[in-house]
Amino acid sequence: MKTKKTRNEIRRDRIFATALLILLAAFTLIVCTIADAVTNNVAVNSDSVVSEASDNIIEAEPEPEPEPEPEPEPEIDIYPVDLDPDLQRYIIKTCEEYKINPSIVIAMCFYESSFNPDAVGDNGESMGLMGISPRWCWPEMERLNCPDMTDPYQNVTVGIDIIARKMAKYDGNPEMALMAYNAGDAGAHRLWFDNGIYSTTYSSNIMNMSWALDHGEEF
């Protein structure tokens, strides 16, 4: 036979049940809080690892494109004369820069020195391939930094500069320029204006040799 619980017992049971529910709720809250903290910590650590891994990734640099090879300079045709081929190419290239016919300079080298870089003129002053006289040509030698007229490259550098300036001065007339190169401006003026002479053995022979070179003929 069941005994009835007293009012105090019933109250006690309710209090106990309420306390148990409160404890269960508190325990559940603690467990959830711990779980969230663990989850957040794992997420942070994962982000850190990913970030470090990303930082350690080195992007591969693209390989540089190979530089194009320079085009070879076109071969320069030289004249069939007994003059060093490299020096001929230098003369031709320099004449192109001055815009004068290189065959005239080659003919001058032959007429002045027979292609002998050590030649000395009858007057004892003119020197080298183009018969340069340091006494009269020192301004050009100094301006072009060519002090040694026994050096064939320096000699033709000065000679080409002089004949090119003579041609420019006399309206591109090669014979007048050659006469001025050979006799000086004053001497050429006397020939032209006092004597009416516009061609000399020097100028006409060089022009004939230049024509022969341009047409593949020997002189």
pTM of the model: 0.67
* pLDDT score recorded for residue 52: 55
Same domain, 117 and 179: yes
Question: Mean pLDDT over residues 85-103, rounded?
Answer: 98
H/E element holding 156? helix 152-169
Backbone angles phi, psi at 190, to 5 degrees: -65, -40
Res. 12 pLDDT band, cuts 50 70 90: confident
- Judge whether 155 lies within some domain: yes
- Judge whether 20 lies within some domain: yes
The reply to whether 97 belongs to the active site is no
Same domain, 122 and 195: yes
CB distance 156 to 109 below 8 Å: yes
Contact residues for 164 (Cβ-Cβ < 8 A; gap 6+): 95, 98, 99, 100
Domain residues for the domain of 11 are 1-53
Question: Mean pLDDT over residues 71-82, rounded?
Answer: 84
187 or 76, which is more confident? 187
- Percentage of the chain lying above the pLDDT 70 cut: 80
- Looking from the CA of 35 toward its CB, the CA atoms found within 13 Å total 6
Among residues 97, 112, 125, 175, which one is catalytic? 112
CB distance 91 to 105 below 8 Å: yes
Amino acid symbol at 53: A
Res. 54 pLDDT band, cuts 50 70 90: low
- Judge whether 156 lies within some domain: yes
- Judge whether 59 lies within some domain: no
DSSP three-state, residue 120: strand
* pLDDT score recorded for residue 60: 63
pLDDT in tens, 133-192: 999 999 999 999 999 999 999 999 999 999 999 999 999 999 999 999 999 999 999 999
* pLDDT score recorded for residue 51: 54
